[in-house]
Amino acid sequence: MIRVENLYKIFRAEEVETTAVNAVSLHIRPGEFVAIMGPSGCGKSTLLNVLGLLDSPTSGQYFLDGTEVGHLKESKRVEFRKGKIGFVFQSFNLIEEMDVFENVELPLVYMNIKPPERKRRVEETLQKLNLTHRANHFPNQLSGGQQQRVAIARAIVTHPLLILADEPTGNLDSQNRQDVMKRLLALNQEGITIVMVTHSRNDASFAQRVINLFDGRIVTDIKNYL
Ligand code: ADP
Ligand code: MG
């Protein structure tokens, strides 16, 4: 699924050079649920953004589902990730002017899927996340937990290969945190590969494997026996 070899991401701003991802090599098999942990500023989000084709590495190789994607041009990257990768962010990133149905439908619009098929897929996905009765609500009418469920629905409506989640529970109270984690686990048990950045040991306990980063490097990569 994911094969990364000797990956670097170096940011250069003014006189300052930051090696945010430093010689990372990583293999993730289809169906794995991997948590990435480490202190603030150690490169977790940068690594996730490169894995998600939101950004390109400075050097190194990245094979996604067998294709080298690390050095694609921006337009090719966007094309490649469309439908294949679902994102869930701490800040939910919903569009305030669109209702729940439209937010979840959006990735299918970008993929030029015809309206009847879009409707079928959105309804199926809303049902899976217990959001059917919220279809016509707007994000500001929803709790944080509900908004994150909408974001998860939007991430899976395309039937992606991979979900990338950056601190998905970071803005939630403990009850909603647990609910979001159980839903991610259920999706993983249906076969979706998940890579999740988290600060929380509780969240990481849902993953099968925990990778610790420090200063852009992988320092431990262990199976989770909890
Ligand atoms: P984490 O998600 O683990 O908190 P980040 O991946 O956001 O860490 O950042 C890793 C390092 O890279 C930090 O030192 C951060 O300041 C730096 N960094 C992140 N994004 C940029 C950017 N766009 N330009 C310059 N430096 C950046
Ligand atoms: Mg981060």
Sequence-separated (6 or more) residues with CB below 8 Å from residue 203 = 35, 168, 169, 177, 181, 196
C-beta 41 within 6 A of ligand 1: yes
Label residues 180-200 b or e (16+ Cβ within 10 Å = b): bbebbeebbeeebbbbbbbbb
Residue nearest to atom 6 of ligand 1 (CA): 43
Which residue's C-alpha comes closest to atom 1 of ligand 1? 41
Residue 224 is predicted with a pLDDT of 80
Q: How confident is the model at residue 226 (pLDDT cuts 50, 70, 90)?
A: low
**pLDDT per residue as tens digits for the range 2-47:** 999 999 999 999 899 999 999 999 999 999 999 999 999 999 999 9
What would the mean pLDDT of 92-121 be, rounded to a whole number?
97
Atom of ligand 1 at shortest distance to CA of 46? 6
46: tokens are: 């940068």
Segment 114-136 shows an average pLDDT of 98
Cβ–ligand 1 contact at 13 (below 6 Å): yes
- Residue 49 alpha carbon, nearest atom of ligand 1: 6
- Whether the CB-CB separation of 61 and 216 falls below 8 Å is answered with no
% the chain with pLDDT above 70: 99
Residue 20: CA count within 13 A, CB half-sphere:
20
**For residue 3, how far is its CA from the centre of ligand 1 (angstroms)?**
22
